[in-house]
Chain A
Amino acid sequence: MSAEKKSIYPDKPELQFENKRKFTNKREPLVDRENRKTVGQPTVENPRMSCLNVNVYYGDKQAIHDVTLDIGRNEVIAMIGPSGCGKSTFLRCLNRMNDTIDFCRLTGTILLDGKNIYDKDVDVVPLRAQVGMVFQKPNPFPKSIYENVAYGPKIHGLVQNRAETDEIVETSLRKAGLWEEVKDRLNQPGTSLSGGQQQRLCIARTIAVGPEVILMDEPCSALDPIATARIEDLIDELRENFSIAIVTHSMQQASRVSQRTAYFHLGDLIEVGSTDQVFLNPLHQLTEDYVTGRFG
């Protein structure tokens, strides 16, 4: 297999420069931290968000080491890696959810449409309206389905009256592929839905605010395969209107839904590239070990 890969790489001139050294190290059992410079293509043209040299610390412990990564427009970027590698932490930095943790500290810049979201004059409330988030465990509010979706637009003043609210609730639920299932019981509690429906309700709630970027933190880890398939289809549809960053433990899911994939390992961004390339021709030893199932 490695013989095949060796024959492939010289054909890819854009990868040659950076990876020659790595390539020779490929079979070494452990890569030193010095050798953990990100390989692949962390930047894209005209990105929606771009992170430059991001370091995150929990107290004294450094959780993210010098990550540089772009999130393009209308693309799904998957973040994979073993548990505790910092991919969720990194995702939560993108809409400053880590602000709620007192001892969490961040250096570096994260630009959203060219503006650093960690600038002092940036307010997290509108930021979170621009960068929405879907969590691992479906967490609808213990209120009705209707209120769950209407809550975001209401607090942001996006709707003025009942008719507008009705409209935004319907369009959001339609986009999330949930409308047909719940249109007759909008007043029932959101918690009465099944797990997959709850997660789609959470997605509807997120897109009701009209964000530019949607962050998804293992959105299918609590769901069965059928519900997962529905969410994955939904993610694919949502790509037309939003940039999506998804953290996932399932490599199959990453390969199914994403255009680009980033591999994290112990707080380092090891490799970024097109999903096909990362899964079929990983440049880094650690990536290959992970995607081929040698560890993780």
Chain B
Amino acid sequence: MSETSNIDIVKKGLGKRYRAEKRFRIYGICAIASSLIFLAFLFISIGSNGYTAFQQTFIRLTVHFDPEILGDTTNRESIASANFPSIVKQSLSMMFPEVTSRSDKRLLNALISSGASYNVRDIVIENPNCIGKTMQVWVPADDDVDMLIKGHINREAQEGERRLNDKQLGWIEQLEKDGNLKKRFNMTFFTAGDSREPELAGIWGAVSGSFFTMIVTLVLSFPIGVAAAIYLEEFAKKNRWTDIIEVNINNLAAVPSIVFGLLGLAVFLNFFGMPRSAPLVGGLVMTLMTLPVIIIASRAALKSVPPSIREAALGVGASQVQMVFHHVLPLALPGMLTGAIIGMARALGETAPLLMIGMVAFIVDIPSGFTDPSTALPVQIFLWADSPERGFLEKTSAAIMVLLTFLIAMNALAVILRKKFEKRW
């Protein structure tokens, strides 16, 4: 009778063990692959919808700056009230002299963006000598023309089913033939504020609103969060009170952001009477939301500093404060910065609390300070996604691309900072 030795039993079980290991690897690869597929799907869908927004259709007009139509253009105020729309209309009808009826003229004028007269006005402001001369000017086409050129309106469709009728299509074809209609880089998108007209809408107002909000958030939440973390971790006695505080901070980190928005509405707007739609209030609300994240990350960073460094500092007679500020803090700072940047990135992408404090309003002007009414990038995306015009669809995707670029840049910055300042011991 042969005795089965231990090694035989071990060998018998080996196959099963390896199979389990292989199975687990396959699960892991599947999980990663599926998440990558979803991510790729997200990026492709956003990119394919949005890349067209970086180009815009322009129409070349031959504008005669007729002083009789414009009227007085000697100073800024009179330029503001000068009759630029007429000049634009005049140059259009010069281009298409066969259009005479009133309704046809209206259709013709609809090809040009209502913002075209502002472009012409800006030329006059920049160069007052052009009065009385004739110049060639590229002005933005209306969003319907833009959509047609980008292929979002089907030219073959029945006349009643598209937003441009047969006459307008004919004019556009003629413009294309003469080289007077062209797609160019869409500078407006990066320099303008919001607008009801897709071809005039830009994200700069939202970007500056987000920027001011983030400044307020950073200036408030980083020092307060780090100070709270240092006190709780290094100085406070571990007792029931600090336990309660710790549990509450952890809970706050999990509170839905809309609740912070309501709090901001009740406290900052209604009780303290702060201005509505202001980045200042947005920043305060974001601070409340980001603080727990920063505190938790900073405490973790402080905890990860090896105790031997603390002992070394105490051993040569450093006081508690000296120990923390000379030795522990420099080692914990990369982790704290990472936490802060990730918290800020979350705040940058946050929409809900801003809705509550009025940063969802339609604001055309670009904010120039912390108390100017403004909106923020994610709110702008929300507003555009809600708009019925076809032209806003690509703007929405493009704004998402801009927001994601900022977020990825911030996260990359966090990684770089951590790598740069991390010290080995």
Contacts and interface: CB of A to CB of B under 8 A. Distances in A.
B309 A128 contact: no
A152 B327 CA distance: 13
Interface stretch (B133-141, B318-326, B405-413): B318-326
A142 interface: yes
A202 B308 CA distance: 12
B331 A206 contact: no
B contacts with A: majority SS: helix
Interface in B285-320: 306, 308-319
Interface in A175-189: none
Contacts of A142: 309, 331, 423-425
Given A102-B237, A142-B309, A156 B317 contact: yes
Interface in A111-134: 125-129, 132-134
A155 interface: yes
A224 B4 CA distance: 45
Given A126-B317, A132-B315, A137-B308, A151 B238 contact: no
B317 A141 contact: no
B315 A128 contact: yes
A292 interface: no
Contact of B317 (A128, A134, A137): A128
Interface residues of B, number: 22
Contact of B315 (A97, A126, A137): A97
Contact of B309 (A126, A139, A206): A139
A191 B424 CA distance: 8
A42 interface: no
A132 B327 CA distance: 18
Given A100-B310, A141-B309, A205 B316 contact: yes
Contacts of A140: 312
A135 interface: yes
Contacts of B326: 151, 155
Nearest to A102: B238
Contact of A152 (B308, B316, B319, B425): B316
Nearest to A129: B317
A133 B313 CA distance: 10
Interface in B314-356: 314-319, 322, 326-327, 331
Nearest to B319: A125
Interface string A194-214: 000000001001101100000
Nearest to A95: B315
A135 to B, nearest CB: 6
A139 B308 contact: yes
B346 to A, nearest CB: 31
Contacts of B423: 142
Contacts of B308: 135, 137, 139
A191 B311 CA distance: 16
Given A102-B237, A141-B309, A135 B315 contact: yes
Interface of B: 237-238, 306, 308-319, 322, 326-327, 331, 423-425
10 contacts: A100-B311, A100-B314, A126-B317, A128-B314, A132-B316, A134-B315, A135-B311, A142-B425, A205-B316, A206-B315
Question: Sorted from nearest, which 7 A-B pairs have the closest CB atoms?
Answer: A139-B308, A152-B316, A129-B317, A128-B317, A133-B315, A139-B312, A142-B423
Given A128-B314, A141-B309, A155-B318, 19 more contacts: A95-B315, A97-B311, A97-B315, A125-B319, A128-B315, A132-B315, A133-B311, A133-B315, A135-B312, A135-B315, A139-B308, A139-B309, A140-B312, A142-B309, A142-B331, A151-B316, A152-B316, A155-B317, A208-B316
